[in-house]
Each structure stands twice: as structure tokens, then as C-alpha cells.
Amino acid sequence: MNVTFRVFRFSPGVDKEPHFDTYSVPLKESMTVLEGLLYILDNLDPTLSFRFACREGVCGSCAMFINGSYKLACQTQIGELKANKIEVQPLPNFPLVKDLVVDLSAFYEKIEKVLPYLTAKNDVVEKEQLQSPVERKRIDEVIDCILCAACQSACPQGWTGKDFLGPAVLIKSYRFIADSRDRAGDERLKLVSGEDGVWRCHSAFNCVEACPKHINQTAAIGSLKRKAVVRKLLFWKR
């Protein structure tokens, strides 16, 4: 049995317009969308471009728009889509590089803006910084983010405001603010409380729906908003 793949194609400098190409792929048991794309690359069309690396839902490279939903191609079995045709498109709302590859440079630059590293409470860390189970629980969910950028692509605030930090960047900040071992919470809150930070989030929940790791970004951003208000009340002169 074969399954039809309808794949978005655009090669700058070669194609005048984006278009879809159709491929017939022999279906194997438990075959994933990524395996289907690899079959096309190896057997039908070596010019097809897409990203992948770990093949186990950890690297975040193969986030795509598959049959109208945000998914990791490596974690999506063709059978579970219950469709005769698999339509694969690049993550919407990012500049396109080629075919299914988008330019994530602006996304990574935004992550750098929010200090994406732990600032330990002591300048000299001589031994392991322990956390209680309760303290660890606070970051349990957000620490699972693999920076696949699906939520960033799905956020309507990002469609109109290109400088909006976006859900993935905001929860990266939250991940350290909520971490009991970090001491830079005040500086972090200042960075996400500006015009392009938390207040642009209107809780549309698109990010929650898009996330392959089932992270509730909207709840984390809500917590950042409350912390930002408290910070403002306590340090109103800054």
C-alpha cells in the first residue's frame, strides 16, 4: 500500500512561485512522516530539503506543519493521521530558506536576549546545587522545551509584531526565574516586562495547542505577568 505525500516546495532563484509536489511512498508499519520524507529524498527526489537530527523528539529540528497541525515529523506516525494524503509544509510565519527549511536566526537571537543560562546564587560554585523535589517540580514542565519553534510560529502576536519575544522565548525566561538555584530573577523579569514582552500575550492558547511537548506556555506567561506586576510595585522607581 502506498501513501501520497504532498510536499511544499520552493527554491529561491530556481522557482518563480512556491508549489506542492506529489510523491507516492510505500507505507511500512509504524512509518513516521520523517521516514516518508527520507524515502522521498533517497528514492524519488534528492533535491528535497528538510531538517532533522535526533529522530526521537529531542532536538526539535523537524517541527513542521503536517496536515494542518504543528507536529514533529519524527514523532508523527503516518497511520495516526488517518488520512490518505500527507500534506507537509514548513513552519508558517518564518522566512523560508528552501522547501521545508525556515530561517530561525531571529528566534535564536531573541532567546539570547533573555539570558538563557543559569546564574548560580554563589559566584564560586564548589559543589552541586541541590533542589528539593518541590523546587524541581516548579520547572518540571517548562524544562521539557526542545526549542522546536512550533509555538513561536503559531502565536498570532508574532504574526503582526516581529519583535514580540514569543512564547518559547518567554518560557525560557520563566524556566530560570522559577529555578531555585538562579539569582538573576529581577534582571530577567525586567527583560521580559517591556513592550515586546509578556504584555503582548493575549492568551490565545495557539502555543499550547501547537506544542509537541504539551507545555502550557500561557500559564507560564501568566505567572511571569504576575511576577512583573509585583516587581513593579516593589521597585516602582526603576
List residues near ligand SF4 by CB under 6 A. 145-151, 167-168, 171, 210-211, 213, 215, 217
Q: Which is nearer to ligand SF4, 88 or 146 (CB)?
A: 146
Q: How far is the CB of 64 from ligand SF4 (least distance, A)?
A: 12
Q: Which is nearer to ligand SF4, 25 or 150 (CB)?
A: 150
Q: Which is nearer to ligand SF4, 45 or 209 (CB)?
A: 209
Q: How far is the CB of 62 from ligand SF4 (least distance, A)?
A: 11
Of the CA atoms within 13 Å of residue 229, those in its CB half-sphere come to 6
- Name the grid cell of 163: 519583535
Q: Are 8 and 88 in contact (CB under 8 A)?
A: yes
Q: How far is the CB of 211 from ligand SF4 (least distance, A)?
A: 3
DSSP letter for each residue of 200-215: G-----HHHHH-TT--
User: Between 105-113 and 167-177, two packed helices, what is the crossing angle to 10 degrees?
Assistant: 30
Q: Which is nearer to ligand SF4, 86 or 111 (CB)?
A: 111
Q: Which is nearer to ligand SF4, 87 or 144 (CB)?
A: 144
Q: How far is the CB of 148 from ligand SF4 (least distance, A)?
A: 4
d(CA 66, CA 161): 25
Q: Which alpha helices (DSSP H) does 17-147 contain, by range?
A: 33-39, 105-113, 133-137
Q: Are 116 and 169 in contact (CB under 8 A)?
A: no
d(CA 168, CA 33): 24
Q: Which is nearer to ligand SF4, 85 or 162 (CB)?
A: 162
Which residues are registered as beta bridge partners of 23? 5
Q: How far is the CB of 23 from ligand SF4 (least distance, A)?
A: 27
Q: Are 73 and 33 in contact (CB under 8 A)?
A: yes
Q: How far is the CB of 229 from ligand SF4 (least distance, A)?
A: 23
Q: Which alpha helices (DSSP H) does 16-145 contain, by range?
A: 33-39, 105-113, 133-137
